[in-house]
Structure 1
Amino acid sequence: MWNGKKVSVALPTYNEKESIRACIDQFFATGVVDEVIVCNNNATPGTSEEVAQTRAVEVFETRQGYGWSLRKAVSEATGDIIVLSEPDGSFVPTDLFKLLSYASDFDVVFGSRTNSALIWSGANMGWFLKWGNWFAAKYLEFMFNTVALTDVGCTMRLLHRRDLDRITPHFTVGTSHFGLEMMLLVIQSRARFIEIPLNYKERVGQSMVTGSFRKTLVLGLQMLFFITWSRLRAAFGRGPVFAEPR
C-alpha cells in the first residue's frame, strides 16, 4: 500500500526460473507491494514451482511474446497503482520507491536504463543497445514533442489504474515492442508522464532478444517504423480515441 493505494507488480516470465523467486520476494520485502502477478508465458519447466513458493499469483498466457505476457499480467492486476518489471535480476525492486515518489505528480512514470552511472558491470547495455535506445527515444520525443526521453525499451514503469484502463483497449502488439506501444498510447492519451533513471544490472540467463545483435537491430528498426507510423496516423486523424479520464 502506498498513500492508501493498492500496489500491484506485473511480471512476465519465460526463461527466468533461476531468478524469479528472489525477484518476487524482494518486491514483497519493500513493504509497499500488495500483489505480484506473474504471467507464465510457456516458461521453463520448474518456473511454476518457484512461483508457488512465494505469495505471487501465477496466470498463464499461451500466445508467445513479451507483449502478450505483460498484457495478460496487467489485465489480472487489481491494484490502484500498477508497476511493470522483469524477474531476470536486471532491475532492482527497491527502485520501486523512485517510481512511487513521482506517482503523486504524474499519471505515468517511465524508467530509463541508459544513465551510465546506474548501469552495473555485466549489464546487457553495450554501446549499440544504449545509443540505439537513446536515438529511438529522441526520435519519439521529436516526433511527438514530448518531455525528455532516453529509453524506449525499459520495462520497469508505473501507471495509475485510471490511465492503464484508458489505454488498454488500444493495445495491439504482443511482441517485443509492446513497451513502446504503451509509451506511445500514454503520450497520445495526454497523460502526464516523466522518465527517471533506474539501476540496470546483469541479468540471470540469456535474453531471447537483446542477447543477439541481429535481433536487436531488427527490433530497433521495427520501433522506428512503429513511431513513424503512429505519428502519421495521428497527423491524419486516424490515431486512437481515448475515453475521458474518470
Structure 2
Amino acid sequence: MKKIRIGVIAAAGKGTRAYPRTTFIPKPLFEIQGKTILHRNIELLTEKFGVEKIYILVGYLKEQVVAEIEKIRFFSRKGPELIPSEWTTQGLGADIASLRDRINEPFVTILGDEFYYKTTHENFLKTLQKYPKLSASIGVQKTTLTSRIRKNYSVELNRDKIINLVEKPTDPPNNLLGLGSYLFTPEYFSFYDNTSPSPRSGIIELTDVIDKMAKESKGSVYATQMNCEYFNINSMQDYHHAVYEIRNDQFEKYSVSIVVPTQNHERSISDVLVDFKGKAKEILVIDNGSTDDSVKLAAIEKAKILSLPSDVEQDLGSQVRWGIEQAKGDIVIVVSPDGSFRSKDFPKLLEYLKDSDMVVGTRTTRQMIEQGSNLRPLARLINLFMGKLVEVFWWGQEPRFTDADCHYFGVWKESYNKISNELNEKSRFYVVELMIQFVNAHMRCIEIPVSYYKPVESSDYALMESIKNAWKIFNIILRKKLMPNND
C-alpha cells in the first residue's frame, strides 16, 4: 500500500493543564512557527500518507477550531477533504468509535495536541506492508527519559508485536515511549464495543482498547518505530519548550534588524551605531527631521537611513512602529539612540526570543544601573509600580513586569504584525502599550534585566516630571484595559 486515504485528528479536548491560555485558545490552535499544531498535523497526514479525507474531532471551543479548518481549506484548496466531527464527551476511544459508519478501511489517527518535528511517520506504511493483516499499529520511540513514558504510556514488545500497554506507568518496563499516532483498521470498532470502562475514569480508554486488540485480535497489533522530535503539549511549559527547540534548531536562518529612532542625537548616535555594528543584517536609523549632524554621522557608520514620511505622526511611538514595519528582518531589535543601552545585552534578547514573542528589558535591577545615571529611585519605583499594575489588570494572562518604559526590546516581526493594527500610542510611552497588546493577544512577552547607562544629554527626573510621566503611563494602561479595541 503506497498511501492511506483516511486520517483522523483528535482536536476536541479542553486541555486544562495548559491554563490560562486554553481558557481562550484550544491547544490544537497553539501556533508553532506561524502555523497551528492542527495545520501542521494536517500537513503531516497529507505529506506522509497522501490522505484524501481527514475527520477532525471537535468539541471544546469548537467554533475556533472550525474557523481554523475553514482557513486551512481556503489556503489549501488542493488538499484533502477536511470534515469536522462532533466529540462524544466520553473520551478519545469513543470519539474514534463514533466514526464507524464513515470508515471502512485502514486509517491513521493523530492527537491534535502533539507536535512532531522531522518525523518518520511514513514508517507506518512500511509496517502495513510488512504485516498486511495487522489489526492496528502504534508509533513508538526510544527515549532515555522515563519521565516522558510516565506521562504517556509504555509498550512491551515481542519483536515488533505488542504484547502489553500500560497507561501512565509508575515503573516503565523499558525505554519505549508510546506516541499519540496510531494506524487502525475497522476491526477497532468491534473491539471498542467489547472493552470495559476503566475503573479509574469510568470511560473506555483508548489504550485499553488497543491493549485488548493486542492480546485478542487475530491480526495483532504491531509497533512502528519512529525517529522524530516529539512534543506532547500537556502544559504551557511543554508548549514553550517545543517553540524554543524548533526556533533554536532553525535560529541561524532568521535575519535580525536593529531599529534606532533618532531626532537630534549627534552626540550619541555614533557611539550607539559603532557598538551595535555587525550584530545584525541591517541597522535602520529612522530620522524624524533631525536638524543637527545625526544623519551625517549615521551615514559615516554605514547605517541605512530612512526619513519619517510626512504622513506618519511625528511622535516617537509612531516613529518606532514605522521603523519596525520597514525592517526586513524576521526579528527586530529596537534600541534608543541616547547611549543608555549597550550591545552586551543584545545576545540575551536574542536568546530569550527563542522562547517568546517579545522580549523587553527592565532597568529596575539596581546592580546593573551605572552610577550617576538619571534613573533615580523614584523613577524606578514608578516603573515598578506601573509594571505590577499591568500584572494586576491582566492577572489571568500571568504576565510578569517590573518596568513599563524600557526602550530596549525585541520582537518577532511575524508576531508584531498580528497586533500592529491595535497599536495607537504616539507618545514616548508607547512601550507599555506594546507589552500589553502582546499579552492581550495571548502571546508571550518576557522581561529580562539589562544594563542601563547614563544617557548623553540627560537630566535627572524631577519630582513633578516623574509624576506626570506616571500619570501618562497609567492612562495608557487604563485605556487598554477599559477599551482594548476602541483606542
User: Residue 376 of structure 2 contacts residue 461 of structure 2 at CA under 8 Å; is this kept in 1?
Assistant: no
Tell me how far apart the structure 2 counterparts of residues 143 and 186 of structure 1 sit (CA, whole Å): 14
Correspondent of 1:94 among 344, 348, 353: 344
Q: 1:167 to 1:130 in 2, by over 3 A?
A: same
- How far the C-alpha of 1:211 sits from its partner, in A, is 4.4
What are the equivalent positions in structure 2 for 1:1-246 lying under 5 Å apart? 3-29=252-278, 32-61=279-308, 63-145=313-395, 146-206=398-458, 211-234=461-484, 238=485
User: Residue 264 of structure 2 contacts residue 293 of structure 2 at CA under 8 Å; is this kept in 1?
Assistant: no
Q: Give the AA of the match of 1:110.
A: V
User: Residue 39 of structure 1 contacts residue 59 of structure 1 at CA under 8 Å; is this kept in 2?
Assistant: yes
Cα shift readout 1:99-125 (whole Å, capped 9, x = no counterpart): 111121111111101100101112221
Question: Secondary structure of the equivalent of 1:136?
Answer: helix
Question: Secondary structure of the equivalent of 1:87?
Answer: coil
- How far the C-alpha of 1:134 sits from its partner, in A, is 0.2
- How far the C-alpha of 1:44 sits from its partner, in A, is 4.0
Q: 1:47 to 1:212 in 2, by over 3 A?
A: farther
- How far the C-alpha of 1:10 sits from its partner, in A, is 0.8
Question: Secondary structure of the equivalent of 1:226?
Answer: helix
Tell me how far apart the structure 1 counterparts of residues 385 and 476 of structure 2 sit (CA, whole Å): 14
Q: Give the AA of the match of 2:258.
A: V
- How far the C-alpha of 1:140 sits from its partner, in A, is 0.7
Q: Give the AA of the match of 1:48.
A: V
Question: Secondary structure of the equivalent of 2:393?
Answer: helix
Q: Give the AA of the match of 1:42.
A: G
Q: Which residue of 1 aligns with 2:191?
A: none
Question: Secondary structure of the equivalent of 2:277?
Answer: helix
Q: 1:144 to 1:22 in 2, by over 3 A?
A: same
Tell me how far apart the structure 1 counterparts of residues 469 and 418 of structure 2 sit (CA, whole Å): 26
- What fraction of aligned residue pairs are identical, expressed as a percent? 26
TM-score norm. by structure 1 comes to: 0.88
Q: Give the AA of the match of 2:439.
A: I
Tell me how far apart the structure 1 counterparts of residues 456 and 296 of structure 2 sit (CA, whole Å): 18
Tell me how far apart the structure 1 counterparts of residues 369 and 291 of structure 2 sit (CA, whole Å): 28
User: Residue 9 of structure 1 contacts residue 85 of structure 1 at CA under 8 Å; is this kept in 2?
Assistant: yes
- How far the C-alpha of 1:214 sits from its partner, in A, is 3.1
Higher RCO (CA < 8 A, seq sep 6+): 1
Question: Secondary structure of the equivalent of 2:468?
Answer: helix
Count residues in correspondence. Answer: 233
Tell me how far apart the structure 2 counterparts of residues 103 and 71 of structure 1 sit (CA, whole Å): 19
Q: 1:46 to 1:212 in 2, by over 3 A?
A: farther
In terms of mean alpha carbon deviation, does 145-154 or 133-142 score higher?
A: 145-154
- How far the C-alpha of 1:216 sits from its partner, in A, is 3.1
- How far the C-alpha of 1:138 sits from its partner, in A, is 0.4
User: Residue 335 of structure 2 contacts residue 409 of structure 2 at CA under 8 Å; is this kept in 1?
Assistant: yes
Q: 1:213 to 1:56 in 2, by over 3 A?
A: farther
- How far the C-alpha of 1:203 sits from its partner, in A, is 0.7
User: Residue 379 of structure 2 contacts residue 461 of structure 2 at CA under 8 Å; is this kept in 1?
Assistant: no
Runs of at least 4 residues off by over 6 Å: none
User: Residue 284 of structure 2 contacts residue 327 of structure 2 at CA under 8 Å; is this kept in 1?
Assistant: yes
Q: 1:212 to 1:45 in 2, by over 3 A?
A: farther
Question: Secondary structure of the equivalent of 1:200?
Answer: coil
Q: Which residue of 2 aligns with 1:243?
A: none
Tell me how far apart the structure 2 counterparts of residues 199 and 109 of structure 1 sit (CA, whole Å): 15
Structure with higher Rg: it is 2
- How far the C-alpha of 1:212 sits from its partner, in A, is 4.8
Tell me how far apart the structure 1 counterparts of residues 255 and 371 of structure 2 sit (CA, whole Å): 34
Q: For structure 2, which runs of at least 5 residues remain unmatched after alignment?
A: 1-249
User: Residue 176 of structure 1 contacts residue 219 of structure 1 at CA under 8 Å; is this kept in 2?
Assistant: no
Tell me how far apart the structure 1 counterparts of residues 429 and 360 of structure 2 sit (CA, whole Å): 15
Q: 1:12 to 1:213 in 2, by over 3 A?
A: farther
Tell me how far apart the structure 1 counterparts of residues 464 and 290 of structure 2 sit (CA, whole Å): 24
- How far the C-alpha of 1:147 sits from its partner, in A, is 2.5
